[in-house]
Amino acid sequence: MPSPRIDVLDDYDVLSRAGADMVSVFLRSTPAARIVVATGATPMGLYRELAHRRGRGELEAAEVTVFQLDEYAGIAPDDRRSLLGWARRSFVEPLGIPPDRVVPVPTDGDPETCAEYDREVERAGGYDLAILGIGRNGHVGFNEPPSDPSAPTRLVELTPESIDSNAAYWGDVEHVPRRAVTIGLAGLLRSRTILLVASGGSKREIVQRAVLGPMTDEVPASHLRASADLRVLVDRAAWDGPEPA
* Interface positions with ligand PGA (CB under 6 A): 40-42, 133-135
Is 10 among the residues known to form the active site? Answer: no
Distance from C-alpha of 170 to C-alpha of 81, rounded to nearest angstrom: 7
Per the residue annotation, which of 71, 128, 137, 235 is the catalytic one? 137
Task: Provide, rounded to whole angstroms, the least separation between the CB of residue 221 and ligand PGA.
Answer: 9
Per the residue annotation, which of 71, 118, 128, 139 is the catalytic one? 139
Cα dist from 217 to 1, 2, 187, whole Å: 17, 19, 16
Is the Cβ of residue 158 or residue 186 nearer to ligand PGA in the bound state? 158
Is the Cβ of residue 40 or residue 109 nearer to ligand PGA in the bound state? 40
Is the Cβ of residue 107 or residue 182 nearer to ligand PGA in the bound state? 182
- On the question of a cis peptide bond just before residue 146, with omega within 30 degrees of 0, the verdict is yes
Strand order in the sheet with 154-157: 70-72, 179-182, 154-157
Distance from C-alpha of 134 to C-alpha of 42, rounded to nearest angstrom: 9
Task: Provide, rounded to whole angstroms, the least separation between the CB of residue 42 and ligand PGA.
Answer: 3
Sign of the dihedral defined by the CA atoms of residues 234, 237, 242, 245, in that order = positive
The residue nearest ligand PGA at its CB is: 40
Angle at 42 between CA 59 and CA 191, to 5 degrees: 65
72 contact partners, CB below 8 Å, separation of at least 6: 81, 82, 83, 107, 177, 179, 180
Tell me the helices (H) and strands (E) count for the chain, helix number first: 8, 10
Per the residue annotation, which of 144, 166, 223, 235 is the catalytic one? 144
Please give the single-letter amino acid code of residue 48: R
Task: Provide, rounded to whole angstroms, the least separation between the CB of residue 168 and ligand PGA.
Answer: 10
Is 70 among the residues known to form the active site? Answer: yes
Of 30, 21, 29, 99, nearest in space to 53 by CA:
21
Is the Cβ of residue 125 or residue 201 nearer to ligand PGA in the bound state? 201
Is 139 among the residues known to form the active site? Answer: yes
Task: Provide, rounded to whole angstroms, the least separation between the CB of residue 47 and ligand PGA.
Answer: 12
Is 144 among the residues known to form the active site? Answer: yes
Is the Cβ of residue 44 or residue 115 nearer to ligand PGA in the bound state? 44
Task: Provide, rounded to whole angstroms, the least separation between the CB of residue 176 and ligand PGA.
Answer: 13
Write out the catalytic residue numbers: 70, 137, 139, 144
